Structure 1
Amino acid sequence: MLSVKSLSRSFGGVAAVSDVSFDVKKGHVHAVIGPNGAGKTTLFNLISGVYEPDAGSIHLDGQDISGCAPETLAKKGMSRTFQNLQVCMNMTAIENVMLGAHLHQNQSLWAGVLGLTKSADKRLQEEAVALMTYVGVGEYTDAHATQLSFGVLKRLEIARALASKPRLLLLDEPAAGLNDSETHAMTTLIRRIAEGGITVLLVEHDMKMVMGISDHIVVLDQGRKLAEGNALTVSRNPEVIAAYLGTEE
């Protein structure tokens, strides 16, 4: 579904991502892991159109999307969440989710004149409520975003991403800042999303989560791909262990 080939990006002469290649299979959960500063978020920003690559290519369903703007990628079926929450704090929870569906709204002046927007708005609200229930925050529909806990806001951001009806969902550290019970619930949610047919690519530091839900794992270290494979293969790789834990002289 997604193919990354020889991707590179430097900042001020320092290579943040260097010659990274991997493939993402449709319907699977793929994870990108690595020590702090390994280049994980930069890689995500390249894939999602926040940055343009210096070299290499990114293909979605065989189509070259290298350097495409985020809004273009959203129309092609790619959505993402962020390590630092990007929730609109001046809106209610349901308004945040409804915002994610704007790409699928086709409301014109004549639609307003004929009163067709009322039925569309009602349908949009119903879909937003269903998504909030799906991610486990249905009881906060009318709550203002400022009233919600960090864990609820994390799920709310995922609901908003799902409102755009993506085929590929990128999750940047979905478990960051969550306690054990919230992390367990987030793990269950991600598994459910993948089982529902949405391909998931995530960056995450919580190794228990990664090893428990990932079909395939890519390991980065200092901007380069260090290893890849299933959870068992990666967890037993000596280079991966050394990158995380260090080695004796």
Structure 2
Amino acid sequence: MSMALLDVQNLSIHFGGVKAVQDVSFSIPEGVVYSVIGPNGAGKTTLFNLITGVYRPTHGDIRLRGESIAGKSPDLLARRGVARTFQNLQVCMNMSALENVMVGAHLRLDRNLLKAALRLPGLARRDEALRDEAAGLMAYVGLEAYTGARADSMPYGALKRLEIARALAMQPRLIFLDEPAAGLNPTETLEVDRLIRRIADSGTTVVLVEHDMKMVMNLSDRILVLDYGRKLAEGSATEIRNNPAVVAAYLGGHA
């Protein structure tokens, strides 16, 4: 049996007396869409923050291809192929759309201060290659019409996809998308739905937090359900849809 891409073992974090995530375990293979759902306050974003290095766990371990990454910094995790987007847009509004995507690639560069100061020809060529790569990623997410635009001139739905393009510029093997369809209209949601499947089909593993249950059920190869920081259920979309505990706690309850 092949090793899981991501293996989360008995993960917990406590904020004072609040147990935000409690003893959660799961494994994710490569090339799938793995969704995390649950009522508001269930611990979904906290779980993302633990895995992507924003928080250090109180207990448990997180392994990427068998190597522990628990408590590692986000920049180190980025170099190891872990990228993410956030619930609230993290876009640099005073930059162009293209520059925002280029920012996502900076951790791949071997630029040093001496080369930057001297402006060696190789550096200029690499910057041009980065611009071409960023433009290609904007086309990939359906934003070719905004290649020359400033971020602050773009509509909200386009900015959500711009953030995904920036994360993809890091060339991740594992990408965490935190509510990528939040605030989008049905047409925009369908565009994001198709984009996520395209990303997974390209071989990048997607971990998704999303409240749009139609999207989750349509996209997910596997679903983890959290409730009050604990793992309530895990399985296929069909298994989750027909799980009485999930229906009571979330799908038909207080979501």
Deviates more, 1:109-118 or 1:67-76: 109-118
2:184 is matched with: 178
The structure 2 residue matched to 1:121, chosen from 110, 124, 127, is: 127
Aligned to 1:196: 202
- 1:80-109, CA deviations, whole angstroms, 9 ceiling, x for partnerless residues? 000000001110000000010001222342
How far residue 114 of structure 1 moved from its aligned partner, in angstroms, is 3.5
Matches within 5 A, 1:43-62: 43-62=47-66
Q: Write the deviation string for residues 17-59 of structure 1: whole angstroms up to 9, x where unpaired.
A: 0000000111111000001110000000000000000000000
Say yes or no: does 1:18 pair with 2:7.
no
Pick aligned residue for 2:214 from 197, 200, 208: 208
Q: Shift of the alpha carbon at 1:113?
A: 4.8
Is 2:171 aligned against 1:165? yes
Instruction: Give the Cα–Cα distance (whole angstroms) in 2 for the partners of residues 71 and 169 of structure 1.
Output: 14
C-alpha distance in 2 between matches for 1:152 and 1:138? 11
Which of 82, 101, 105 is the matching residue for 2:86?
A: 82
Percent of residue pairs identical: 60
Query: What residue is the counterpart of 2:159 in the other structure?
Result: 153
Unaligned runs of 5+ in 2: none
* 1:134-183 deviations in Å (ceiling 9; x for gaps): 00001101211110111000000000000011000000011101110100
2:229 maps to amino acid = G
Query: Is 1:225 aligned to 2:227, yes or no?
Result: no
Deviation at 1:246, TM superposition (A): 3.7
> Which letter does structure 2 place at the counterpart of 1:141?
T
After TM superposition, where is structure 1 displaced by more than 2 Å over at least 4 residues in a row? Answer: 107-114
Q: Is the 8 A contact 2:115 2:123 kept in 1?
A: no
Normalised TM-score (structure 1)? 0.97
Q: Secondary structure at the match of 1:127?
A: helix
- Find the aligned partners of 2:191 and 2:83 in 1 and give their Cα distance: 21
- 1:34 paired residue number: 38
Aligned length, in residue pairs: 247
Q: How far, CA to CA, are the matches of 1:62 and 1:126 in structure 2?
A: 35
**Deviation of the 1:110 alpha carbon:** 4.3
Q: Give the secondary structure class of the aligned counterpart of 2:54.
A: coil
Q: Distance in 2 between matches of 1:19 and 1:35?
A: 18
